Amino acid sequence: MSLTSTDTAREPRKPIRLDKVIIAILAIFILLFVLAPQQGLTTLGDVGASLLSTGPFLLISVAIAAYATASGADNLIARVFAGRTAVMIFAAAAFGALSPFCSCGVIPIIAALLSMGVPLAPVMAFWLASPIMDPSMFVMTGAVLGVDFALVKMLSAISIGLFGGFGLLALSRLPLFADPLRDGVGNGGCGASSVRTPKPVAWTFWQESARLEKFRAGAAKNLMFLGKWLVLAFTLESLMITYVPAEWISTIVGGSGMLPIAIATVTGVPAYLNGFAALPLVDGLIAQGMLPGAALSFMVAGGVTCIPAAIAVFALVKRPVFFAYLAFALTGSFTVGVLYQLALALL
């Protein structure tokens, strides 16, 4: 029997991709209900209660992120990187801490800026500050860890951005930093077009059907993304409180002095999930004796230098720039943690 043209032209079915986070959540609860049914019920109740308490803030953060996407507020980034280098560093650090860019958008934006000839110092300031804080993160941090902690984290993002920006400005004359991008790296990707060809921001985006649909799609995507990570985080928090001895936490990161903050800074790199998932985990760690300064260093260092972000940075820039990025991020994270802990001790 011969094949028809329809049969030969038929495209193969795309494989169904299973979400690893959802798989992890299901696997944890299956194991719990098989091995420890009572703990499974307890953890399920803990997750439900945590979601109810943070639900309003989650919806607000989702709406903020979706609004920024639908209105085209990311076009404002092109206006930040114009003018004298020192002024650009201040603007880039502040904008990075307040901008709603996702992790997938920061890397191509940086590639676009560098390929356009923007000085490396202000780009580094934006690069360091952006992953630490954004409007959605501020709302959720305030909901879980308190508004004071959220404000300190935002100031830390700006400070680390300034530290990296002016630090690299001092090093910019060295030949090692003359050509930061790896050979063959372009400036494409999500968010990069807004840097090259900025367009006006449509603040009243709901008047355009295409933008309204973009808002709905963005809100649904963000809600799914944040929701699954928070469920995983609340699940791990419940299990951590039950099975991880408080004495062990206090011994590692709950003592006095700078050593716990240094340990938290280093462990924040491999242990960090993402900014939203880290919130309830850090809240649980603080309840078990973790120093607030160590908690701040853990979150800041993890946000800037988590393994997925570090891999993307390594693929984008040459090694001297990559190691400078790591040095500024880790040194800055440790410093803000120490200063925060000293400030708390003086109050």
Per-residue pLDDT reduced to its tens digit, 258-317: 888 998 888 776 555 556 667 887 888 888 788 899 999 988 888 777 665 676 677 778
Where on the phi/psi map is residue 117: left (φ > 0), alpha (ψ -120 to 50), or beta?
Answer: left
pTM of the model: 0.68
pLDDT digits (tens, 9 = 90+) for 45-62: 989 988 887 788 778 767
What helix, strand, coil percent values describe the chain, rounded to 5? 75, 0, 20
pLDDT band for position 335 (cuts 50, 70, 90): very high
* pLDDT value of position 225: 77
Statement: residue 178 has pLDDT above 70: yes
**What is the share, in percent, of the chain residues with pLDDT greater than 90?**
23
* pLDDT value of position 336: 96
pLDDT digits (tens, 9 = 90+) for 205-259: 888 888 899 889 888 887 887 788 778 878 887 887 788 775 676 666 666 678 8
CB-CB neighbours of 173 under 10 Å: 9
Statement: residue 153 has pLDDT above 90: yes
| CA 174/CA 6 separation, integer angstroms | 62
Residue 298: closest CA among 284, 312, 317 = 284
Residue 302: closest CA among 330, 269, 324 = 269
Domain boundaries, the chain: 47-346
| CA 226/CA 228 separation, integer angstroms | 6
**3 state SS of 181:** strand
For the residues 117-125, what does the mean pLDDT come to?
A: 85
For the residues 192-202, what does the mean pLDDT come to?
A: 62
Rounded to the nearest 5°, which phi and psi values hold at 343?
-65, -40
Give CA torsion, residues 233, 235, 237, 240, to 10 deg. Answer: -130
**What is the share, in percent, of the chain residues with pLDDT greater than 70?**
74
pLDDT band for position 1 (cuts 50, 70, 90): very low
> Mean pLDDT score of the chain, rounded to an integer?
79
Residue 109: closest CA among 84, 88, 81 = 81
Structure tokens at 281: 């985990």
* pLDDT value of position 237: 74
